[in-house]
Amino acid sequence: MSAPLLSLALLLVPGGLEATQPACPGFGAAPVMDGGIAPAAGHWGPADAFAVLMDHQTRRVQDQAFPPERLSVSGRPVEVRGFIERGSAEGGQATVLLLSPAHEGFCVLSSWQTPVGTPFARLSLVSAWQSRDGHQALVLLEATGDRTSVAASASPPAFLSVVFATDGTRVRRVLERDVGGLAFDPQPGTPVLLGAGEPLYLDDMGLFRPRPGAQSATTVSVVCPKTRNARLDITNPESQGPDLRLDTWLPGDEVGRLYERWGRDDRARVAFRHLVRRGVDEVEVVGIQGDAASIVFLSRAPKGFCVRNAWYEPWGGNGVALGRPSWWPSPDGRRVVLLVGLALNFHHGVDPDDPREEAGEVALTLDGVIVRDATTQERELARAGQRP
């Protein structure tokens, strides 16, 4: 057994390190979900002990699911690590640890695990948000079932999204839902969680709720008002699913499944979500990447959304990734230009003459609910004055 695996295996044996491990004062809160192979809050482990997790009794092993994410909260470093069970094509249990460096190792702030019996093949840290004063951080993670062997007619794979809040010493679970496709809107101020139908705002009680005063419609309308939008020139209408036709109504609970191959593409994930507000108009922009890529513009409608326009890249290589978007508002306040980079990945590529990926850029202009390709002048102005 390797040294890291041995260290953490001992950590998970009752009393295995209690006689020698340093104390973790202030980190004694109960884990979000205890049991299984997750070390409980207040435990300490050496710096190299958290490369893998292992249950000493069952010998189940979990490998790191994503690179550790380091945050600074209230002036204290907090590290988020995720693990996924190895040994099964269908997946297994997933674990999340929130750690604080201490005594040349880490103290466990809290731990969380997916339910036993529901196999997950992938665990992703979707996004993180921090308050302006730096005293609070939120992290959003998504566990998904196997999405490579799901037939088109089969049931969709399992999804589980969870949000944790921390002040640097304590951790709270503020949301857990069996859906996918959620993401934080990165705009400053009150955090907004998008993708669950009605946008959710963090209230004074530390819970995600609909906007105060928002009222749900009592009737359902499936007729979206026409916007005079023209299909984007770079959109491939033959490759795009029927749900993304212009001015099509989508039920609120369908928004997380905008991508036509969502259930069968294990690369598919939400790259970004953003609310654009201009007067009474509010448009949600969703970027989705995977085998192909989509950028979808939605406006709110009774019990759902209207698709205002959609850009689509049906890449046939080894997947396409969307970069971090930037938004440029025009001086007159009427238009917003979206700039986002593309990375088109090939199946091959070993030298500069045979590249592994090709870079690109998308520039789209939103004017109210009208979405179009940005002009050359708008693109250049946005590049010169772009801001995240």
Task: Provide the pLDDT for residue 355.
Answer: 66
Which of 140, 163, 180 is the endpoint of a domain? 180
- With respect to residue 68, please indicate whether it lies within any of the assigned structural domains: yes
Write out the residue range of the structural domain in which residue 270 sits.
242-385
Which of 180, 197, 217 is the endpoint of a domain? 180
Which of 180, 199, 214 is the endpoint of a domain? 180
CA end-to-end span of the chain: 46
Q: Which of 236-240, 253-257, 325-329, 349-353 shows the lowest mean pLDDT across its residues? A: 236-240
Query: In the block, which residue shows the tokens 């839902």?
Result: 177
Task: Provide the pLDDT for residue 61.
Answer: 87
172/34 same-domain check: yes
Whole-structure pTM value: 0.65
164/271 same-domain check: no
290/379 same-domain check: yes
Task: List pLDDT tens digits, range 145-180.
Answer: 876 655 444 566 788 899 999 998 889 888 888 888
- With respect to residue 32, please indicate whether it lies within any of the assigned structural domains: yes
Query: 76-90, 160-174, 197-211, 303-317 — which one is most confidently predicted on average?
Result: 160-174
Task: List pLDDT tens digits, range 276-300.
Answer: 887 667 888 989 888 888 899 998 8
Q: How far apart are the C-alpha atoms of 230 and 197, rounded to whole Å?
A: 26
Task: Provide the pLDDT for residue 263.
Answer: 64
- Structure token pair of residue 6: 């041995």
Task: List pLDDT tens digits, range 323-342.
Answer: 989 999 888 888 899 999 99
Residues of the chain with pLDDT > 90, as a percent, come to 17
Asked if residue 69 has pLDDT above 80, the reply is yes
277/135 same-domain check: no
Asked if residue 29 has pLDDT above 80, the reply is no
Q: Which of left, alpha, beta for 169 (phi over 0: left; psi -120 to 50: alpha)?
A: alpha
174/246 same-domain check: no
Please calculate the CA angle 72-73-77 and round it to the nearest 5 degrees. Answer: 45
Scanning the chain, the segments in alpha helix (DSSP H) are: 3-11, 376-385
Q: Say if strands 208-210 and 122-130 run parallel, antiparallel, or are unpaired.
A: unpaired
Task: Note whether 240 and 259 are within 8 A (CB).
Answer: no
Structurally, how many domains does the chain consist of? 2
Q: Grade residue 235 by pLDDT with cuts at 50, 70 and 90.
A: very low
Which of 195 and 110 is assigned the larger pLDDT? Answer: 110
251/160 same-domain check: no
